[in-house]
Amino acid sequence: MTAHPHRTVLRGGTVIDGTGAPRRIADIEIVGDVIGRIAAAIEPRDADQTVDCTGRLVMPGFIDAHAHADGAVFQTDVQLALLRQGVTTVIGGQDGVSYAPGDGRWADTYFAAINGPHPTYTGGGVGELLHTYDGTTPVNVGYLVPAGTVRHEVMGMRAGRADAAQLARMRQLVADGLDAGALGLSTGLDYVPGIFADAAELAALCAPVAEADALYVTHMRGGYEANSAAGLREVVAICAAGDAHGGVRGHVSHLHVDATDGVRLLAEAAASGADLSFDMYPYTRGCTLVSMAVLPPEYSALDVEVALARLSDPAERAQLRDRWFPAVAHKPSLGPQWPTMIRVAHTPAEQWAWAPGLTLAEISARRGTPVEDATLDLLVAGRLQVSAVMAVREERPVENLARLFAHPAHTGGSDGIFVGAVPHPRAWGAFARFLATYIGRSFTWEGAAVHLAARTAGRFGLHERGILRSGNAADIAIVDPSTATDAATYDAPRQPARGIDDVFVNGRHVLRGGVLTGVRAGRGLRRSPAPPPRSAGADPRPRQTDHPTPRKGTP
């Protein structure tokens, strides 16, 4: 006798389905791990679970287009942080650095302050990594083949161009990852060894991406802001050359630029024929490795032990103090105030456990040593695994950010980093802040479902998610529109969001009443083909409905 799949009925909620269609009051039936019927009234059976959604919005689970949760997603506090924001899927493998392919040890070291370690992956490739997420976490994880990791597997940390054999091997690793279900290829062109790859090499690696109709995702070269124009020109060139039959689709990670410049640059890219999208988080301040901000670039390519030996050498330190740190004071992103603009988020050194939350200037004053020496001591003690939240000279106003969030190529991304005692609040609050601050400014509630779920699913090849329709995966967030808000701040960043207390992932109730249920329904998500149009002449893509209306009030 065949057992019937478990059935849940979400009753009386206001459904916002992610297509851009107007909201409607309806019941939703969940059968097993997929959505069944969506109807005005669905009568529950005796064995059914029911959830009263009256007064709340029933929305597709949000998809974080850029998150550094690759290793952290197994931690319960991280799971709670994501689900309380309505995030049911995170996309890892970002910035060109993560565990697979290879055994993961290099990424564990180089990105220790960004991704942290993976608790179980020891090698085998993208397929094996994706398998580690199946039934082990309540959140889904998609993955991009990280080009820096690919280059490191083939060439180590060496600069210079790849020869023909090396390039062929790298392309094969990319193709293997895509065959295993990766959603695309990522690059981090300010990180080593990605910084050594030129546009021709990256275009060659994009050929299998284009063939698979996957996505090229990039942390652009040059640090954004004033350098965004040059960075975007290179992205357009890579996308155009990435395939002889029309190019590869592109996606810019964590766009960080003034709205006027950003809108103009995106229009220029579109006019060139590039098919680009981007993600962007709702904060002005960034987060990075302290070593990238204050050390000469060549240190990033050194073996850790070699770098630590050099930083501990009195003669080397004297040269850095006299010749390099004055140059740091002239960096456009920092300036003479650099000691007050770098606020430590994480160090693994136990004897420096007091440092997170303090600026380098405050650390220097507490130790009674020059800031240059305090900074070098901090990096040596932390084995370069030190991250920081970066202040800005002037906070960008909400209205400026809102213009870019309203852009039809925007997708929601947090760039969330969960490592550290005092991390950036975006990991705990980005998606809730989109709802609390930008509903009514950048998009309607219907538009929010497009930006934060449907469009991301379509771009990244997760075509069974992001839209509430019969047969799709039952990833669902139930939102109270009157209370949904972020609580995380720069001083207290680990505060879960409010207003989203019930979340379903693959049909299972993973967050109930704001509390984790312990159900590990998440999966390692593999790329799926785009579905055919639902009827003749129909456009399966979500409609653009980002005409803001007041946020507060009844749904």
Q: Is the pLDDT of residue 347 over 50?
A: yes
Q: Domain of 35: which CATH number?
A: 2.30.40.10
Read off the pLDDT band of 399 (50, 70, 90): very high
Instruction: Compute the Cα dihedral for 199, 202, 206, 207 and give only its sign.
Output: positive
Q: pTM to 2 decimals? A: 0.94
Mean pLDDT for the chain overall: 93
Residue 31 β-bridge partners = 7, 34
Give the N- to C-terminal CA distance of the chain in Å, as an integer. Answer: 44
Same domain for 193 and 210, yes or no, is: yes
Q: Nearest 5°: CA angle at 488, between 485 and 494?
A: 130
One domain for residues 270 and 159:
yes
Is residue 521 domain-resident?
no
Pair 259, 359 in one domain: no
Q: At which residue do the structure tokens 């600026």 appear?
A: 359
Residue 355 has pLDDT above 80, yes or no: yes
Encoded tokens for 470: 């019969």
**Domain boundary pick from 367, 388, 409:** 388
For residues 231 and 315, membership in a common domain is answered with no
pLDDT score recorded for residue 243:
64
Domain encompassing residue 345: 288-388
SS3 state of residue 524: strand
Q: What is the mean pLDDT of residues 308-321?
A: 96
The average pLDDT across 62-73 equals: 98
Question: Which tokens belong to 511?
Answer: 């967050």
In the predicted model, what is the mean pLDDT of residues 337-354?
97
Q: How many CA atoms lie within 13 A of 193 on its CB side?
A: 23
Does one domain contain both 259 and 357? no
Tens of pLDDT, residue by residue over 231-244, are: 999 999 999 986 65
User: Is 71 a domain residue?
Assistant: no
For residue 158, what is the domain's CATH number?
Answer: 3.20.20.140
Q: Is 246 helix (H, G, I), strand (E, B) or coil?
A: coil
The two most distant CA atoms of the chain are separated, in Å, by 80
The DSSP code sequence of 161-189 is ---HHHHHHHHHHHHHHHHTT--EEEEET
Mean pLDDT of 35-47: 94
Q: DSSP letter for 227, please.
A: G
Share of the chain above pLDDT 90, in %: 87
Is the predicted pLDDT of residue 377 greater than 60, yes or no? yes
- In the chain, how many domains are there? 3
- Verify that 172 and 241 share a domain, yes or no: yes
Q: Is 106 domain-assigned?
A: no
Last residue of a domain, one of 264, 280, 296: 280
The radius of gyration computed from the CA coordinates of the chain, to the nearest angstrom, equals: 23
Handedness of CA 231, 237, 240, 243 (dihedral sign): negative
pLDDT at 394: 76
Both 354 and 265 in a single domain?
Answer: no
207 with 322, same domain: the answer is: no
State the pLDDT at residue 318: 96
pLDDT recorded at residue 4: 67
| Separation of alpha carbons 521 and 222, rounded Å | 39
Q: What is the mean pLDDT of residues 339-348?
A: 97
Q: What is the dihedral of CA 370, 373, 375, 381, to 10 degrees?
A: -140
Domain end residue (candidates: 280, 303, 332) = 280
Strands 410-412 and 276-280 come out as parallel
Count of C-beta atoms within a 10 Å radius of residue 188: 27
| pLDDT tens sequence across 257-286 | 999 999 999 999 999 999 999 999 999 999
Nearest to 423 by CA among 116, 156, 142: 116
> d(Cα 432, Cα 485) in Å, to the nearest integer?
5
In a domain, 335, yes or no: yes
